[in-house]
Amino acid sequence: MLQAPRRAGFSGPTLIRLLVRLAGNDAPESGQSLSAQLSQWLGWTDAIALSAALNGNPPASAGPRAAGAEDAECARVRAMLAAAITDDKAAGGRQRGRPRPSVPDPVDTVVDYAAFRQRYVTFQQTMETEIGNLRGRLRTALAARAGGMARLAMVDAVMERVLGAREQALLATIPGMLEAHFTRLRQTEEATLASARAAGAPAEVTPGAWLTVFQNDMQSVLRAELDIRFQPVEGLLAALRDS
Enclosing domain of residue 225: 67-100+111-242
Residue 35 lies in a domain: no
Residue 3 lies in a domain: no
- pLDDT tens, position by position, for the chain (243 residues)? 444 444 444 456 889 889 988 987 655 555 555 555 556 666 645 555 555 555 666 555 444 455 688 999 999 999 999 999 988 544 443 434 444 444 444 444 568 999 999 999 999 999 999 999 999 999 999 888 876 788 888 888 888 888 888 889 999 999 999 999 999 999 999 888 888 778 777 767 788 899 999 999 999 999 999 999 999 999 999 988 876
Span 111-163, pLDDT tens digits: 899 999 999 999 999 999 999 999 999 999 988 887 678 888 888 888 888 88
Residue 129 lies in a domain: yes
Residue 165 lies in a domain: yes
pLDDT at 105: 46
pLDDT at 16: 87
Rounded to whole angstroms, what are the CA distances from 205 to 8, 122, 189, 190, 229?
26, 31, 7, 10, 36
User: Whole-model pTM?
Assistant: 0.76
Exposure pattern of 198-222 as b/e (b: 16+ CB <10 Å)?
Answer: eeeeeeeeeeebbbebbeebbebbb
Residue 135 lies in a domain: yes
Residue 155 lies in a domain: yes
Residue 136 lies in a domain: yes
Number of domains within the chain: 1
Residue 16 lies in a domain: no
